[in-house]
Amino acid sequence: MIKNIDATQDSAVVALTQTLVQIPSENPTRDEVALGQYIAELLQANDIETEVQPVDGQRANVIGRLRGAGGPPLVLLAHLDTVPIGDSANWHYDPFGGEVVAGNLYGRGSCDMKGGMAAAILTMLRLKQAKLKLSGDLVLACTIDEETAPMLGSHALGHAKMFGPEAYLLTMEPTSCKLNVAHKGAFWYEATFTGKAAHAANPEFGADANRALAEAITGWYAANEAWQNQYPHALLGSPTLVVSVVAGVFKTNVVSEFCRAEIDMRVPPPLNETHTYALLAEVGTRVAQRFGVEFSLKPLSEPRPPVECDLQSPLIAAFDKAYQQVTGQLAEHLGFLAYTDAAMLAVITGNQNAVVFGPGELSDAHTVDEKVEVAQLYTTLRVLEATARELLAIKA
């Protein structure tokens, strides 16, 4: 495992991404420990002030810091965990190999988000080596558990008050190297219908939970379609609803007495958890009354409401200038359809300076043969370094 890195060479971002991919950190198997230890040792080996924040047993956030003069910090957020690889036989490339083929680097976490993490680590090393005087701290915060609903890592950072509402939050999730200045809200629910079992030859003696759920699913999708016309958003698009899990009991010739569904809802502002819960509850209650069954609804995740960055934020101004310097192009401002640690921290701390920028296509995340384009790794490193210098470096 590489510890002595020549951060001056852009090629280091490829080598470091390969190393990070080669350390499995799958979740929900809670396997981020080895990767966190490697990053802590890497930062310490390069004389970076390092804090290990215990969160869940041996699982810990890793925070590196270059001290500034007390102004707002720039916090580069990267999650340690990845989703599982699934059946490795389905992969054409070693999921933990970090192979580079035809300009792409392959492996689990390559785009979500070990490529962005590598670029952030090298940004910190470069600013350390440059011995710049900084107006505020430059922070690298590597979190556990971003890939599950509790998001334990970002919650631990937020509740420890490590960063306040004035901090500049930038997470390196895959955005195809485009700046995303808004997050769609993400809400997960479990809906349950409880009826009465009966012989399928005499269904009139039962109360069919499956039938109720079928009607509810149709109603939920119809209600969301109405929302799509009501609540379009310029950056985040319209609300979405997916009934992603359906399960019932228990035998072919028995009227089902129980069934459940899990629902994923993604909404732009002004919608929030109150609106999403009410939509599901209204349909579910109405259907339950019609079919003589009981209905219950509960959240499966912490509230993750929509988040928008203040478009006058100095972070956006610094990024736009840095991006143009590096690429020769004006930065686009888009919306991120998934949820991130930056959004969660923004909600917990009341922060309005949260953005997303990183290498890779979001459509490649969580897939077999996940990959990141090497050219985007280079761009991300250069833009992150230029943004940090523009935002934090004290001009002589």
Considering the domain architecture, whether residues 204 and 154 belong to the same structural domain is answered as: no
> What are the tens digits of pLDDT across the range 49-66?
999 999 999 999 999 999
- Confidence category of residue 302, pLDDT binned at 50, 70, 90: confident
Considering the domain architecture, whether residues 201 and 286 belong to the same structural domain is answered as: yes
Domain-terminating residue out of 272, 299, 326: 299
Q: Which CATH number covers residue 278?
A: 3.30.70.360
297 strand-pairing partners: 191
Instruction: State residue 3's pLDDT score.
Output: 62
Residue 152 clears pLDDT 70, i.e. is over it? yes
- Confidence category of residue 1, pLDDT binned at 50, 70, 90: low
Beta strands in the chain (DSSP E): 49-56, 59-66, 71-79, 100-101, 104-106, 136-143, 168-171, 179-183, 185-194, 198-199, 240-248, 254-255, 258-267, 294-299, 307-308, 333-336, 354-356, 371-373
Considering the domain architecture, whether residues 32 and 92 belong to the same structural domain is answered as: yes
Amino acid at 252: T
Percentage of the residues of the chain whose pLDDT score is greater than 90:
94
> What are the tens digits of pLDDT across the range 264-297?
999 999 999 999 999 999 999 999 999 999 999 9
Instruction: State residue 206's pLDDT score.
Output: 95
Considering the domain architecture, whether residues 281 and 337 belong to the same structural domain is answered as: no
Domain-terminating residue out of 283, 299, 315: 299
Considering the domain architecture, whether residues 294 and 265 belong to the same structural domain is answered as: yes
Joined together, the tokens standing for residue 232 give 């379009």
Instruction: State residue 255's pLDDT score.
Output: 94
Considering the domain architecture, whether residues 205 and 230 belong to the same structural domain is answered as: yes
Could you list the residue range(s) of the whole structural domain that residue 163 is in? 12-183+306-392
Considering the domain architecture, whether residues 178 and 45 belong to the same structural domain is answered as: yes
CB 64 within 8 A of CB 43: yes
Considering the domain architecture, whether residues 169 and 38 belong to the same structural domain is answered as: yes
> What are the tens digits of pLDDT across the range 203-233?
999 999 999 999 999 999 999 999 999 999 9
> What are the tens digits of pLDDT across the range 358-390?
999 999 999 999 999 999 999 999 999 999 999
Is 3 inside a domain boundary? no
- Confidence category of residue 326, pLDDT binned at 50, 70, 90: very high
- Confidence category of residue 2, pLDDT binned at 50, 70, 90: low
Domain-terminating residue out of 270, 299, 328: 299
| In the block, residue with structure tokens 């680590």 | 121
Domain count, the chain: 2
Considering the domain architecture, whether residues 93 and 106 belong to the same structural domain is answered as: yes
Report which secondary-structure segment, H or E, holds 122.
Answer: helix 115-130
Considering the domain architecture, whether residues 240 and 334 belong to the same structural domain is answered as: no
Q: Distance between CA 371 and CA 99 in Å, rounded?
A: 9
Residue 30 clears pLDDT 80, i.e. is over it? no
Considering the domain architecture, whether residues 41 and 151 belong to the same structural domain is answered as: yes
